[in-house]
Amino acid sequence: MKIVSVCENRTFLRAYRKGKKFAGRYIVVYAVRNEGSPLCRLGLTVTKGRGCAVVRSRVRRILRASWRYVVSKYPAKSGFDVIIVARDSAVSAKSTDIAPELCRGLSYLGVIANE
């Protein structure tokens, strides 16, 4: 399954300023409506404060794996931009730790239907 990414800085800023937010132990999830897109797009933020490049890449892979798992189990609604920001605790977490939290966050924000 191909993940459609958010690449533009202005889209990230719009999500931070105008989007709804869910904060958990490992991640912070922002969601904002994107009326111009028929797809649900994903943006990931893992800052340099989380570790070296190897660690940041590992965290991004885990976040993408969690996203794939949640979206395959509960299909995402179209027209949303979802931004996931990794917290310090995400560095030592596994995808099995992050996936339930991501599911709760997306459900809270209305991106996926409730279980």
Return the CATH number at 60.
3.30.230.10
User: pTM of the full predicted structure?
Assistant: 0.93
- pLDDT of res. 19: 93
Report angle CA 88, 3, 80 to the nearest 5 degrees: 80
Is a pLDDT exceeding 70 seen at residue 78? yes
- Mean of the per-residue pLDDT values for the chain? 92
Sorted by sequence, the CB contacts under 8 Å of residue 39 that are 6+ apart come out as: 4, 78, 79
Task: Decide if 39 is inside a domain.
Answer: yes
Contact in structure between 110 and 31 (CB atoms under 8 Å)? yes
In total, how many domains does the chain have?
A: 1
Residue 67 lies in a domain: yes
pLDDT tens digits, one per residue of 82-103 = 999 999 999 999 989 999 999 9
Q: Is there a domain that residue 1 lies in?
A: no
Note the pLDDT tens digit of each residue in 1-25: 678 899 899 999 999 999 999 999 9
State which residues form the domain around 52.
9-109
Model pLDDT, residue 12: 94
On whether the CB atoms of residues 77 and 106 are closer than 8 A, the answer is no
Structural domain includes residue 24 = yes
User: Residue 27: which H helix or E strand, with range?
Assistant: strand 27-33
